[in-house]
Chains A and B, each alone.
Chain A
Amino acid sequence: DQQVKQNSPSLSVQEGRISILNCDYTNSMFDYFLWYKKYPAEGPTFLISISSIKDKNEDGRFTVFLNKSAKHLSLHIVPSQPGDSAVYFCAASLNFGNEKLTFGTGTRLTIIP
């Protein structure tokens, strides 16, 4: 049973436009969410996180939005750059700091120059 779902396996966006990556979860007890970015032949790297007490967190071009009632989070990248082309994983955990992460299946983002 996939508790964290990324329903879009791939997404293509024009350079300079907004990229929106979506993630849905089924366990309402998840209270901390993270996004990781992965380039080919490399390990994932941490991008941004958000706790359930917030509905938005920004870091430069990256913003994560959390809608707890819909059990949905999204990652916005504005403006999109060619270096953003990668696979993006969302992850969730229970009880901040004390529980292991559950990862989604990933979305491959391609930025078109």
Chain B
Amino acid sequence: NAGVTQTPKFQVLKTGQSMTLQCAQDMNHEYMSWYRQDPGMGLRLIHYSVGAGITDQGEVPNGYNVSRSTTEDFPLRLLSAAPSQTSVYFCASSYMWNTEAFFGQGTRLTVV
């Protein structure tokens, strides 16, 4: 049982480059979300989805896009990377918003 799988685990980007962080879950959860974790800031919600074809913005959406074409996958796209996007990114899925959420192992992104 894989749970939530994030790839890659580490990434270094140059300013202005674009990339996609992948997230897949095999628990048939409707709710999926992306968070970023920064020192002293906790986990901040970037974008979320309540089901295939439905996405919405969270607390810090600027510079990121998402799509949800299937229940399993929820990729996060950085359109033009900036140093301020250096962070650790977590994908999570859950049956409902505040039932137990399962998190991926995280992607550590550095933008230089």
- Name A residues whose Cβ lies closer than 8 Å to a Cβ of B: 4, 6, 9, 32, 34, 36, 41-46, 49, 89, 91, 93, 96-101, 103-106
- Name B residues whose Cβ lies closer than 8 Å to a Cβ of A: 4, 33, 35, 40-45, 48, 58, 90, 92, 96-106
Chain A residues with Cβ below 8 Å from B105 are 41-43
Are A100 and B104 closer than 8 Å at their CB atoms? no
Are B48 and A100 closer than 8 Å at their CB atoms? yes
> With A89-B43, A100-B33, A105-B42 in contact, is A43–B106 under 8 Å at CB?
yes
Are A99 and B106 closer than 8 Å at their CB atoms? no
Are B42 and A44 closer than 8 Å at their CB atoms? no
Are B58 and A100 closer than 8 Å at their CB atoms? yes
- Please provide the 8 A-B residue pairs with the shortest distance between their CB atoms, ordered closest to farther: A43-B103, A103-B43, A105-B42, A46-B100, A93-B98, A97-B96, A103-B42, A32-B98
